[in-house]
Structure 1
Amino acid sequence: MARPTGREFSVRLESMGAPPSLRREPRAGSDERFEFHVSKHARDLYGLSGAPYSSSGDVVFADYGAARSFSDRINERARSSGGPFVKAGAVNAMALIHEILHAVCAEYRERVEPAAFDLAVRGARAAQGTAASDSSLLSFAKAFPPSTVYAGTESPESWLDGLSDGRGKRAVAMEELLLLRLANENPALAPYRFLFDDAALKARAPVAATLDAAEAALASLPPFGPDGEDLPSLLRAPMRASPHSLSGQLEFMRKRWGLLLGDRMPRLLGGFAMLAEDERPSFPPGPGPVRVPSYAAVDSEYERFSEDKDWMPRVVMIAKSALVWLDQLSRAYGRDIRTLDAIPDEELDTLASRGLNALWLIGIWERSQASRRIKELCGNPEAAASAYSLFDYEIAWELGGWPALENLRGRAQARGIRLAADMVPNHTGLDSTWVRDRPDLFISRSTPPFPSYSYTGENLSDDGSIGLWIEDHYYDRRDAAVTFKRVDFRTGHTSYVYHGNDGTSMPWNDTAQIDFLNPAAREAVKERILHVARNFPIIRFDAAMVLAKRSLRRLWYPEPGAGGAIASRFEYALDAQAFNAAIPDEFWREVVDTCAAEAPETLLLAEAFWMMEGYFVRTLGMHRVYNSAFMNMLKEKKNAEYRATIRNTIEFDKDILKRFVNFMNNPDEDTAVAQFGSGDHYFGVCSMMATMPGLPMFGHGQFEGFTEKYGMEYRRAYKDERPDEGLVRRHEREIVPLLKRRHLFSGVENFLLYDLARDGGSVDENVFAYSNGSGGERALVLFNNAWERTSGRIRRSCAFADKNPGGSRTGVTRGLAEGLGLRGGDRFVVMTETRSALRFIRRSRDIAENGLAVALEGFQCQVFMDIAEVDDDESGSYAALCDFLGGSGVKDIGWALQDLELGELYRAWAAAFGPGYFLRALRAATARPEPDSGFAAGLEAGPEPETGLEKFFSTASRFAASESFAVSGASPEALSRAYAPVADAALAAASSLLGLGAALSAPREAPGAAEAIACFAALLPLAFLLGDLDDSSAARGLAESWGMPRKLREALAEAGVEPGTAETAAAFAVAALGRLDLVAPAGAERLAALSPKEAAEALMKDDEAKDLLGVNRWDGRTWFDADRYRLCSTLLAAAASGLGADAALARAALDRMDAAALAAGWCLEAMIAGDSKTRTPPRAAKKKTKGEE
């Protein structure tokens, strides 16, 4: 017959890209099989005699399970007696390679030379003689015996003399011997050579010479294959192409010999998948490595964001593991708190006060009892079931059921807090209602996927209609099986149901995997989602990424040739057409559209990783998606990577950034304090979380600094932790104010990211600088996430995508001035840095032209808010202040302008009434007076006190006149002489009233009175300056115009007085200065003559007095504060004494008023009525009820 050329066969053996109609079907009657050589020695040693062998002696695998069983026998021997272990995928690949090489030989015989191996036998005989050649073949038949020879039903000699499918057995043996040589030469098969080592065979017979001669004879025949090679070279081609990789050799065969393979192709692809399963790396639980997102591929995906409801952008969520939280509350409150309705109102008040408006309750659904029992059997008798192994979507009765939830919901709503719940769509608990009643909804099979699996442990089902067993080796942690056993006692049917699995680590052994290629399963899950959505305004979808089509494909129904994600699933490979026919649309897109129609007020939040975050919000339409890069990158200080994450996202689509859920820990991670510490690094990242677009999510115990990571099966906290009060206070000081202004940060319309350019022009990738805002408000955030100090300037924003009406995008940048909403020109920018509470001033023009100079210490964070642009006044005050401050901040810009304008006046006042004066005055007011130790003598103890006082009067006269106040014509010396005795008398009266003077046997209890009297004495010069003690309202106006209340507070603070006391004292002193008519001699007599009833009626009509005395409504009555009342009366008495009133008269009036107020229980109505039996209200009630009229 005419023999084809090598070129013809090159066409026939090219890659498998040809359509199926061009592919050769296998020959009729051919015996397609997986097979490879195993020596008699190996059969006997490893107990492999029970494996199926071909008539030529090759082991035959009918399916993947047979390869696994074969491997298990070898490995069992290795475990018990030592020796090498094998992997089923590699064993299967060896058999597949051997079979394909046989197929190439068959193709050569059919298409080129039918007698090829007969010619090889003749060539060997010719080269070494018949006896030597036959001895090699006979020795092979003995060392690698065919099934009949091994069984003893046929001798090796008779087998060699026989025929096989019309071929002489010597030709068959020669072909097998050649492939055995190739197997021993193959480096990729070296680990498995103990199964087919030919060393002993070559030692007994001249096998090498026989094969050399046979190969020479074959090489003389016409070439074959894509590259026109002789047959021995062609058979070695895969080994040459990839000498150390079985998968590489199979890949060579697929690409180069595809058409030849015919219906072997599915098994070849299965071989790839089985190898991948063996070689799959093991990852720890969790989302896996976090990478910077690239949106190049996403650009081809359609855009269908879900629209937010008005409340959604402002959500700030906190997670609480329900059972653990209730246990902690029980300890904190000293009573049993076990159900949701027992959660104290105070806890909800605390959440609301911290700016938290969403409460994610973990573990509130009815849990799987099988899950709990598994944990007990594995050594944890206290464990609950996992919160993510669910029996059904009903509120757990141990938490109080639906009634308790409704109670909590109502109280939370009253405080602006929405409840959030988990929905676990991927799987159910092992013993869920669906596993019992609807097993068709789950992925299952009729046999165990691996022959080593056994199910002999405890039946985990509480329901007598079914039995449930997890694989035995879960209990001793020797294996993590992918299936559990389900027996339906009603029908006798047994199935092996797959556990839930995300392919990253071990299967979740207390769960059952739902089959999302089953339309009924998809509909059932959607119905459960709607059930949750109708009861919770926020749903968190657990492990949502595993239900994207690409994930379902990879995990459960891989493409032919793919596999490895979940053991054994490559056996269920589907081509693209079949897969898409089974699930035409994305399940999540259907869920989002259904919820939009039937539960539109529900925020859908997806826990999704694997670089699918953008896809989940932009295409699938989730409102929010986890952003694990925030936690992982900032924790590791991979700042360049996280800046790239933000930059790449806004360059593609800002709206994705708006939908990120940013967190510093979640239930699967270590606590925030464990990951970030409790210092500046923590608070810098936490400030970013509070100010980045998206949804900030706090972990359980994050505010309190708890360190324990709560497992999903925890019933209680195992650590008895107390809140870190310092950490709580710092949260309240630095983070809570940001959370309460989330409207500035949650959106992306005004979000801009900036580079910090160092002096040399390089970008400091450790610094996060961004601005944002809402309406006309803007904010600027700066954070240096590194140990080292840094400085530079921010000028222009990084590029971001500006969406055009037609759907195209344009890259845009903006200057910092535009980002902050500045108009520029000769204006000034005033802004507050929230951490320091300092106000800063900058020139608008400088920011527009040069940007903003920034200097940050390691881990320092600055948040600038209340950014306003102001015009300068005619005198250039803002320009002067900007230059004077030189970039420094001040507590108040108005105060700073005042300090600049009145600096000379303040210095003169401080020389006479600075901190030293207050220290002396307070000592004099509360101690037994010594001779010549009155107020004036105290002043004389300072350096040139009269000169200081005179200088103040001189300076104050000039400033008052410049403001058109009518000042006294007296000289500074005269004013000082007039003032000093009054001050002396006032302090003497204070000593008598508060100290241990001769007039008192015990000090009067009037907290803050000494400070108020000292403040009054320091303000009194203003009344002398204006020269009218009978009408001192102008003096008070002057004091307020000059900011003297602030100066009093500052001086008291420097003297060591507590801020609250200082503020109260200054307020009373200013009020007293304005009412000298009450304490001048005539006024004091009128005041002393008032009855308690008249005094109370007057108080009811004076708004300022009511405010100072803490007047409030409680229980239908009007009350006033006892301490503030005593302060007021003591101050008035001391002032009256200082201004010349009768001290004894003042004291008598004071005692009379005290007695009446005490008898009335500090109730105004009782004082008016003369009622002495009114009970005193509880102090807590007085504190928390203000301003009720």
Structure 2
Amino acid sequence: MPPGWPRYPVVYEINTRVWVRELSAQAGRRLTLDTIPPEEIEDIAARGFDAVWLMGVWTTGLAAIRLARGDDRLRADYRRALPDLTDGDVIGSPYAVSRYQVSADLGGPAGLAAIRAALATHGVRLMLDFVPNHTATDHNLLTESPQAYVRGTEDDIARDPQAFYRTRGGLIVAHGRDPSFPPWQDTAQIDYGHRPGRAAMLAQLQTVAQQCDGVRCDMAMLVLPEVIERTWGERLGPDWIRESFWTEAIPAVRERHPGFLFLAEAYWGLEWILQQQGFDFTYDKVLYDRLLHGDAPGVRAHLFADPEFRDRCARFLENHDEPRAAAAFGLPAEFGPALVTSLASGMRLLHEGQLEGRRMRLPVQLGRRPEEAGDETVRAFYARVLAVLRDPVLHDGTFVPLDVRPAGEGDPTWDNLVAFAWREDGEAGRPRTLVVVNLRPQPSWARIPLGAAGFVPGASYRLLDRLDGAAYARKGDELCGPGLFVALAPRQSHLFSVQGARD
């Protein structure tokens, strides 16, 4: 973990362009990042977040905006989210970056520096986006360093006009792409097989690193050599560079910024490779999918993975790419999975709007979202979770996944449960938090042995459920022997704070 960061940070993603617009409407005047009301920053800090990820601050090119407004398929998606859509609401994808400088609408570089300083006053770090695979189709690198891009021919553009385009200077350049999907037509593909592309993007990354404390690297696996070969193999030639860009770039950034954090958006089972190449955390889509499908055995197995991998996963229940949790999981089914993603080891990613129960996922090309009332039950739930997360042990202590066993012979419902605990570091570390979640829509019973979580025979314990206020007195002999007996209603969870003393 980079110096200065907790081992298991809590990060809050904010859709910056929408956030600033809504705060401006509330204030009755145009706000920028340097004029965000101090109480907004204070509220973020009071909730206990270690870092804020301001998503979408960089300058989006005019070409990306025109494309976003003219695409009928995208417009149908916009209207599902925003029925009263206007052209002014469509401000282009923030992942078609034309310049790694904060948009003038958000206050420019001075505005970013001001909000970074304001967050730092409260001990909150700033994370921003870096998009390694591609740039916007009108980025200045296309004129300054055209060799940095994957180039095409007249035959290419004639055969596949969706995959290539002609720049204003007459160059034929490939659009950025994921090998499993059609090209992103608002982007231009960087050539990582050769030195000019790698040098150009390392310089861009260094520019970003000067302005924040960490980056979320968009689709980071796309620039791994094995993925580059799969996507662009026939164009690479015999002498392409087979070493990963990340093994060069991450140490270079950390030489200048030793405390800089790297988070990779990653899929396809390539997360461990990216961790080995220097990323502090990688997206944990595996956990998300297992929670979505109520796969308790799969979730338990995932939490029992090698800590070298498990503790560097970034857990989430929603983000700007995924559906809103309240819509995807439903209520109250969201709450158990939320306990897992918010309280297990690793990075915990929470998304602005998730804590209020918003249900509409907003396409990233939009700068306005529909009004939603949210849900008071959701607000109250996340307030309790964030209160538990204020305990430093959940940031730097010892995470303990727990075995779940049948409560009685012939009862299979124990297999619906997931359980884990946190204890203070050290062999004699005391237990602090215990989580038990029923992921299925059936009543479930189980025994959960707690010796590994720091509970000891001969002690008495009080388990206070932070979700409903109920308290239970239990003896260490039982907890360390057959285990804590739990009886959970469908989708019910326990979030216990642990108090204990020797008899």
- Taking structure 2 as the reference length, the TM-score comes to 0.91
Conservation of the 8 A alpha-carbon contact between 2:150 and 2:173: yes
Conservation of the 8 A alpha-carbon contact between 1:625 and 1:659: yes
Quote the Cα distance in structure 2 between the aligned partners of 1:866 and 1:506.
51
Q: Cα distance, 1:749 vs. partner?
A: 4.4
What's the counterpart of residue 355 of structure 1?
A: 48
Quote the Cα distance in structure 2 between the aligned partners of 1:365 and 1:857.
47
Q: Which residues of structure 1 form unaligned runs of 5+? A: 1-306, 454-470, 472-480, 489-493, 558-570, 796-815, 872-1189
What's the counterpart of residue 845 of structure 1?
A: 477
What's the counterpart of residue 783 of structure 1?
A: 437
What's the counterpart of residue 378 of structure 2?
A: 727
Conservation of the 8 A alpha-carbon contact between 1:427 and 1:511: yes
What's the counterpart of residue 615 of structure 1?
A: 273
Q: Cα distance, 1:387 vs. partner?
A: 0.1
Q: Cα distance, 1:334 vs. partner?
A: 4.4
Quote the Cα distance in structure 2 between the aligned partners of 1:365 and 1:441.
20
Query: Does 2:235 align with 1:572?
Result: yes
What's the counterpart of residue 821 of structure 1?
A: 454
Quote the Cα distance in structure 2 between the aligned partners of 1:389 and 1:855.
50
What's the counterpart of residue 585 of structure 1?
A: 243
Deviations 1:339-391 (A, max 9, x none): 11222222222222222232111111111111111223336632112100011
Quote the Cα distance in structure 1 between the aligned partners of 2:496 and 2:376.
26
Quote the Cα distance in structure 2 between the aligned partners of 1:406 and 1:345.
15
Query: Does 2:229 align with 1:553?
Result: yes
Quote the Cα distance in structure 1 between the aligned partners of 2:168 and 2:146.
11
* AA matched with 1:699: H
What's the counterpart of residue 599 of structure 1?
A: 257
Quote the Cα distance in structure 2 between the aligned partners of 1:448 and 1:746.
55
Q: Cα distance, 1:780 vs. partner?
A: 1.7
Conservation of the 8 A alpha-carbon contact between 2:215 and 2:263: yes
Conservation of the 8 A alpha-carbon contact between 1:671 and 1:707: yes
Deviations 1:65-107 (A, max 9, x none): xxxxxxxxxxxxxxxxxxxxxxxxxxxxxxxxxxxxxxxxxxx
Conservation of the 8 A alpha-carbon contact between 1:530 and 1:599: no
What's the counterpart of residue 678 of structure 1?
A: 331
What's the counterpart of residue 544 of structure 1?
A: 220
Quote the Cα distance in structure 2 between the aligned partners of 1:603 and 1:322.
20
What's the counterpart of residue 83 of structure 2?
A: none
Q: Cα distance, 1:452 vs. partner?
A: 4.6
For 1:681-696, list aligned pairs within 5 A: 681-696=333-348
Conservation of the 8 A alpha-carbon contact between 1:657 and 1:748: no
Quote the Cα distance in structure 2 between the aligned partners of 1:753 and 1:351.
32
Conservation of the 8 A alpha-carbon contact between 1:658 and 1:748: no
Q: Residues 404 and 519 from structure 1, CA distance in 2 versus in 1: closer, same or farther, beyond 3 angstroms?
A: same
What's the counterpart of residue 487 of structure 2?
A: 855
Conservation of the 8 A alpha-carbon contact between 1:359 and 1:419: yes
Quote the Cα distance in structure 1 between the aligned partners of 2:214 and 2:46.
21
Quote the Cα distance in structure 1 between the aligned partners of 2:231 and 2:297.
32
Quote the Cα distance in structure 2 between the aligned partners of 1:662 and 1:748.
17
Conservation of the 8 A alpha-carbon contact between 2:219 and 2:266: yes
What's the counterpart of residue 109 of structure 1?
A: none
What's the counterpart of residue 84 of structure 2?
A: none
What's the counterpart of residue 482 of structure 1?
A: 163
What's the counterpart of residue 292 of structure 1?
A: none
Conservation of the 8 A alpha-carbon contact between 1:744 and 1:777: no
- Structure number with greater CO (CA < 8 Å, separation at least 6) is 2
Quote the Cα distance in structure 2 between the aligned partners of 1:745 and 1:600.
24
Determine which of 425, 442, 447 is the counterpart of 1:793. 447
For 1:243-392, list aligned pairs within 5 A: 307-331=1-25, 333-378=26-71, 381-382=87-88, 383-392=90-99
Query: Does 2:404 align with 1:755?
Result: yes
Any idea what SS the aligned residue of 2:222 has? Answer: helix
Any idea what SS the aligned residue of 2:402 has? Answer: strand
For 1:839-918, list aligned pairs within 5 A: 839-871=471-503
Quote the Cα distance in structure 2 between the aligned partners of 1:678 and 1:354.
23
Any idea what SS the aligned residue of 2:497 has? Answer: strand
Q: Residues 841 and 598 from structure 1, CA distance in 2 versus in 1: closer, same or farther, beyond 3 angstroms?
A: same
Deviations 1:409-436 (A, max 9, x none): 2222222221110001110000100112
Any idea what SS the aligned residue of 1:313 has? Answer: coil
Quote the Cα distance in structure 2 between the aligned partners of 1:368 and 1:748.
45
**Count of aligned positions:** 484
Any idea what SS the aligned residue of 2:128 has? Answer: strand
Quote the Cα distance in structure 1 between the aligned partners of 2:308 and 2:2.
11
What's the counterpart of residue 423 of structure 1?
A: 130
Q: Cα distance, 1:309 vs. partner?
A: 2.3
Q: Cα distance, 1:760 vs. partner?
A: 2.2
What's the counterpart of residue 768 of structure 1?
A: 418
Quote the Cα distance in structure 2 between the aligned partners of 1:502 and 1:783.
36
Quote the Cα distance in structure 2 between the aligned partners of 1:487 and 1:340.
33
RMSD of the TM alignment (CA)?
2.1
For 1:416-495, list aligned pairs within 5 A: 416-449=123-156, 451-453=158-160, 471=161, 481-486=162-167, 488=169, 494-495=170-171
Conservation of the 8 A alpha-carbon contact between 1:693 and 1:747: no
For 1:221-240, list aligned pairs within 5 A: none
* AA matched with 2:33: L
Deviations 1:1117-1137 (A, max 9, x none): xxxxxxxxxxxxxxxxxxxxx
Q: Cα distance, 1:772 vs. partner?
A: 2.2
Q: Residues 725 and 328 from structure 1, CA distance in 2 versus in 1: closer, same or farther, beyond 3 angstroms?
A: farther
Conservation of the 8 A alpha-carbon contact between 2:290 and 2:298: yes
Higher helix proportion, which one? Answer: 1
Conservation of the 8 A alpha-carbon contact between 2:265 and 2:283: yes
For 1:58-69, list aligned pairs within 5 A: none
Quote the Cα distance in structure 2 between the aligned partners of 1:334 and 1:592.
40
Deviations 1:969-1010 (A, max 9, x none): xxxxxxxxxxxxxxxxxxxxxxxxxxxxxxxxxxxxxxxxxx
Q: Cα distance, 1:625 vs. partner?
A: 0.7
Q: Residues 387 and 678 from structure 1, CA distance in 2 versus in 1: closer, same or farther, beyond 3 angstroms?
A: same
What's the counterpart of residue 512 of structure 1?
A: 188
Q: Cα distance, 1:511 vs. partner?
A: 0.4
Q: Cα distance, 1:400 vs. partner?
A: 0.8
For 1:1090-1105, list aligned pairs within 5 A: none
Any idea what SS the aligned residue of 1:356 has? Answer: coil
Quote the Cα distance in structure 2 between the aligned partners of 1:551 and 1:748.
36
Q: Residues 840 and 726 from structure 1, CA distance in 2 versus in 1: closer, same or farther, beyond 3 angstroms?
A: closer
What's the counterpart of residue 665 of structure 1?
A: 318
Q: Cα distance, 1:407 vs. partner?
A: 1.9
* AA matched with 2:102: I
Determine which of 359, 375, 381 is the counterpart of 1:707. 359
For 1:522-537, list aligned pairs within 5 A: 522-537=198-213
For 1:1066-1081, list aligned pairs within 5 A: none
What's the counterpart of residue 297 of structure 2?
A: 640
Quote the Cα distance in structure 2 between the aligned partners of 1:552 and 1:614.
18
* AA matched with 2:114: N
Quote the Cα distance in structure 2 between the aligned partners of 1:736 and 1:787.
26
Q: Residues 452 and 546 from structure 1, CA distance in 2 versus in 1: closer, same or farther, beyond 3 angstroms?
A: closer
Determine which of 112, 120, 136 is the counterpart of 1:413. 120
Conservation of the 8 A alpha-carbon contact between 1:672 and 1:699: no
* AA matched with 1:418: R
Quote the Cα distance in structure 2 between the aligned partners of 1:726 and 1:400.
36
Q: Cα distance, 1:764 vs. partner?
A: 3.0
Quote the Cα distance in structure 1 between the aligned partners of 2:69 and 2:254.
42
* AA matched with 1:320: I
Quote the Cα distance in structure 1 between the aligned partners of 2:300 and 2:210.
39
Q: Which has the larger radius of gyration?
A: 1
* AA matched with 1:766: N
Q: Residues 322 and 822 from structure 1, CA distance in 2 versus in 1: closer, same or farther, beyond 3 angstroms?
A: closer
Q: Residues 725 and 750 from structure 1, CA distance in 2 versus in 1: closer, same or farther, beyond 3 angstroms?
A: closer
* AA matched with 1:526: L
Task: Name the % identity.
Answer: 26
Determine which of 361, 370, 393 is the counterpart of 1:744. 393
